[in-house]
A and B are shown apart, each in its own frame.
Chain A
């Protein structure tokens, strides 16, 4: 089961933060098809937000075909992004960790590391070279 955390100063509304966190958990394999999302009561009891905010986020995820509500039971993941990449993600994460370690040792601060990553990512070729 995943847990939501809300950032009050991010400028992103709580409802959008919930949608984004579910999607990111799906992408990273932290949530998989068949998993249950926390109930509305569990979410509001944890992060103190209006129940309608949670319902709105779940409705949007439902509309996108990612989750489905089973009345009286809860909301479940019915669809995900490409699950075949989960295995590759583990080794990719590990090499990224090694890279970050190297960057730190070279004296880059957190913001420089992030900037370097984002910049390289944005200017890398979009199509896979075959």
Chain B
């Protein structure tokens, strides 16, 4: 199976600060991938590396098995909608479509016109006068009409109201059905992605915390509730992600392929949001430990 995006020890540094480090990923084609993480986690950096707007400081990245922006053909396979769905405010919708046709060898004018018509937009209208939701739909139309194999969307629904958000994601899912396109979309809100994604990448503190098929991740992660001493009796195959304790009770989030059979623990399943939050707080905990240990040195 070909990879939509593959990265090996990928890192990007700005001055002394690493925006992304030790990033290794292998995302198969045909998935809808949610790239989740807090603001400043490295989501935009990763997407910009994937489209070739940035080049790696270390490591390597391939998209659809090719180096990003290595050729016009390679760029033709990628549809990218940058953060805040930018369009040219002074140009009409029709001018945007003309520009798309002139710049892309694989432009599907029929598809673009039909989508603008279906959205109920007037082609002569200037893009600067569109609502946030309409602007996002125009940007998505431009990205889709070049008939890409992979769509990359950076926080596409962050600035939209709930209805526009739902409509945008619904149309995106129709596109997935019609054109079998792979999608990677980022958000700092899990709720945006929970329904539409089937593959998850959690980025926090410039690192990939976890990634994989969502059904598989949910079936291998558990929340255990028990007493503090039970923690020492966990088998080696159980990987501890997050724990919190009072003197009476310990709650832990763990990853384990095998089911937890120890009757000392009561086992609960996790939602995608629980899972993301557990990995995010693990990353935050590690960051604090690091700051503390540095602060402790003379």
Alpha-carbon distance between A6 and B197 when the two chains are bound, in angstroms? 16
Q: Which residues of B contact A47 (CB under 8 A)?
A: 170, 195
State whether B174 touches A41 (Cβ < 8 A).
yes
Interface size class of B (residues with CB under 8 A): 10 to 19
Contacts A6-B195, A14-B195 given; does A51 touch B177 at CB 8 Å: yes
Cβ of B195: which chain A residues have Cβ within 8 Å of it?
6, 8, 14, 47-50, 53
A24 within 8 Å of B by Cβ?
Answer: no
Provide the residues of chain B in CB contact with A50, threshold 8 Å: 32, 173, 176, 195-198
Which residues of A sit under 8 angstroms from B171, Cβ to Cβ?
45
Q: Number of A interface residues, CB 8 Å?
A: 15
Main secondary structure on B side of the interface with A: helix
Map CB proximity to B onto A32-54 as digits: 1 under 8 Å, 0 otherwise: 00000000110011111111110
Residues 140-170 of B, flagged 1 when their CB comes within 8 A of A and 0 if not, give 0000000000000000000000000011011
CB distance from B290 to the nearest CB of A (A): 36
Residues of the B chain whose Cβ atoms lie less than 8 Å from the Cβ of A14: 195
Binding site for B on A (CB under 8 A): 6, 8, 14, 40-41, 44-53
Known: A8-B194, A48-B170, A50-B32. 10 other contacts (CB 8 A): A44-B177, A45-B171, A48-B166, A48-B196, A50-B173, A50-B176, A50-B196, A51-B173, A51-B176, A51-B177
The 3 nearest A-B residue pairs measured at CB: A44-B173, A48-B170, A48-B169
**Could you give 22 example pairs across A and B, Cβ below 8 Å?**
A6-B195, A8-B191, A8-B195, A40-B177, A41-B174, A44-B170, A44-B174, A44-B176, A45-B170, A46-B170, A47-B170, A47-B195, A48-B170, A48-B172, A48-B195, A49-B173, A49-B196, A50-B176, A50-B198, A51-B173, A53-B195, A53-B198
